[in-house]
Amino acid sequence: MGHTFPDARDSPEAVRAYFNILKTVLPSYKAVIGHQRIRVFGDMAVDSGTYTFSEKRDGKEIVRPARFSMVFKNEHGNWRIVDHHSWAVPAS
């Protein structure tokens, strides 16, 4: 994606800033979820799985498979991301 965040994004403001980078990506940029596993624990939920990021640059498609985990909290009927971690799948 070209953006890096070396520090943990563990506050509402930091999570919001992380996802706001999506407003700046190229129109060809895509993120497709492969599989996911959602577990709900009362007003909290955990979602983990795989996704693939892709985009076209200079006529070539760049594909980056990754894994993710997200923690959600239900606040007044709205599920909000309170923690997110994503990492690239190591090359084989």
Task: Please give the structure tokens belonging to residue 16.
Answer: 């919001």
Which pLDDT tens digit goes with each residue over 4-30?
Answer: 556 776 777 877 787 787 788 788 889
- How does DSSP assign 42-89, residue by residue? TTEEEEEEEEEEEEEETTEEEEEEEEEEEEEEEETTEEEEEEEEEEEP
Scan for tokens 């940029």, then name that residue.
Answer: 29
The pLDDT, as a whole number, for residue 14 is 79
Domains of the chain by range and CATH?
Answer: 12-88 (3.10.450.50)
Q: What is the pTM of this model?
A: 0.72
First to last CA, the chain: 20
Which pLDDT tens digit goes with each residue over 25-72?
Answer: 788 889 899 999 999 999 999 999 999 999 898 889 999 999 999 999
